[in-house]
Chain A
């Protein structure tokens, strides 16, 4: 038994020592006294979303002559915390964070606060610690776009349903915007608002029930793509061709469904590039002595088959 424990213990030690190995990333650049340096820790660098976000950061930073040190937490909180500690040691002028874990980040943010380095969060917020500004997609506006698109697709009249997930704040914002848009069309009635729990299997089940309860349903808003695709599964199972579905996020399977001409007609799409450039623009305002709002909502767009086909050509 003792032996097993010893082995387990040494394996753990090995892992710990491996993960603690300091990573000297591309941080060799010397900072001159004049140019401002901004330390960036992204959530990860593999996803297209964060690649685009980084591009937005870089292009805007070039405009103002800021130097960026870009690192990535890669979903590893420990790694991200040590990156921030490195930034503090290097005395950067500002830090941009996409926290790996909203709560787990607070201690590191406080350390930066103590060192008087301003912290900005992009895309994902941090809970705790003093953040100058949080720059992220405007979910209310996204919901509004979805509502407007669906209303127009139905020519301003019909019965619609929402596949909801009322336990998530960003979703509440989306639904709020959606309902605001729909209110402007008196011919459209929201006949059901059900919880699909944001996952495809549950969404499919509740959508199937809604389709049974409302033989004349004309439209569905899915608060994310899993919800919209679950609704699409149900619509296809019951062969309900005359129904328009609008989703949110424009993930690859959703784009595929839109391009194939299914009942999924359009998707709200975030602009990570714009999130990135807005973040640097706000930092510039802050450096220039301006006041920056606590939350900066970034515009979103909506794509349908036509728009996606154009994007593919590009």
Chain B
């Protein structure tokens, strides 16, 4: 039956296409939908606006992808955004030059990520608990240090990082793209990337195969922390200030982006490109709904529905 064979071939081909680009197709549909619904959506200005706004969570999501691929989770990222912003801005407001304050900010996330990694590996506590504790510790430190008030006396040139443009493209957007190129290379082109998948797929097998699983785990938490700090610096620069209450609930947005992007929470499966598209999908959704003046309460529900749909899609794909 050549006819039947043909259709099943087409179906098969569609399935394979969907397998590869499922989430990308969803983003495409979303883009078309919003450009039909709002005349302001598909303008160069707004597209750049979306990439600028999404850059903050997307950068963190790149690091989170590595963590989740190992079967872990990092809930501390939102609080780290705030703490890093505070440390960086207060360093600058007490006359530290920017060339030192920025690396210092990155160090905050790196060091705290290292501590998280030690707790997860050497002390064998589940990442959920360790990073939950880290989250409240970092948030608390940010409030203690500032007494709850923002740090706003920062040098004017600091604002360029978050608000400047290079050939009309916002600098955070460019940094985000850079982070994704590096993350893609690390995950899909290096030994470290293969180890990350191996640890997430089967930790015991990875260990028996001679991989230093502890080292890999500590490295992914350092990476996640440092990228959260990078986002924290960019956000502080966009706001020209360090805000102890910034980054609230970012961890949920970030985890949503990673999961919508097709990474399995049990580890071992997922891609960095998927995460990028997942972050964009949620960013575009928020932006589009705001453009259409949809109430914030309705938006919460819709973001939740999209997450459920994306995970459901992923389940169906696996079967």
Contacts and interface: CB of A to CB of B under 8 A. Distances in A.
B65 interface: no
A200 B49 contact: no
10 contacts: A195-B296, A200-B150, A201-B235, A201-B247, A209-B49, A212-B46, A213-B292, A230-B239, A252-B152, A253-B152
A212 B248 contact: no
B85 to A, nearest CB: 9
Nearest to B289: A209
Interface residues of A, number: 30
Interface string B232-271: 0001001111010111100000000000000000000000
Contact of B40 (A205, A215, A233): A215
A204 interface: yes
A209 B239 contact: no
Contact of B238 (A195, A213, A233): A233
Nearest 8 Cβ contacts at the A-B interface: A209-B290, A195-B296, A253-B152, A213-B291, A201-B246, A212-B46, A199-B245, A200-B243
A206 B248 CA distance: 15
B291 A201 contact: no
Interface string A193-231: 011010111101110111011010000000000100110
B53 interface: yes
A212 B239 contact: no
Given A204-B239, A206-B290, A210-B290, A194 B245 contact: no
Given A212-B49, A212-B291, A213-B293, A237 B235 contact: no
B287 interface: yes
B45 interface: yes
Given A208-B53, A213-B38, A233-B238, A199 B243 contact: yes
Interface of A: 166, 191-192, 194-195, 197, 199-202, 204-206, 208-210, 212-213, 215, 226, 229-230, 233, 236-238, 251-253, 256
A58 to B, nearest CB: 25
Given A206-B290, A210-B290, A233 B243 contact: no
B121 interface: no
Contacts of A236: 163
Which of A191, A192, A208 has the most B CB atoms < 10 Å from its CB? A208
A224 to B, nearest CB: 11
A204 B235 CA distance: 10
A236 B53 CA distance: 15
Contacts of B149: 251
A6 B238 CA distance: 48
A213 B296 CA distance: 15
A236 B162 CA distance: 12
B164 to A, nearest CB: 10
Contact of A199 (B38, B45, B53, B246): B246
Which of A199, A201, A205, A238 has the most B CB atoms < 10 Å from its CB? A201
Contact of B243 (A212, A226, A238): A226
Contact of A209 (B56, B238, B241, B291): B291
Contacts of A194: 290, 293, 296
Nearest to A44: B147
Nearest to B292: A213
B265 to A, nearest CB: 26
A251 B52 CA distance: 28
A254 to B, nearest CB: 9
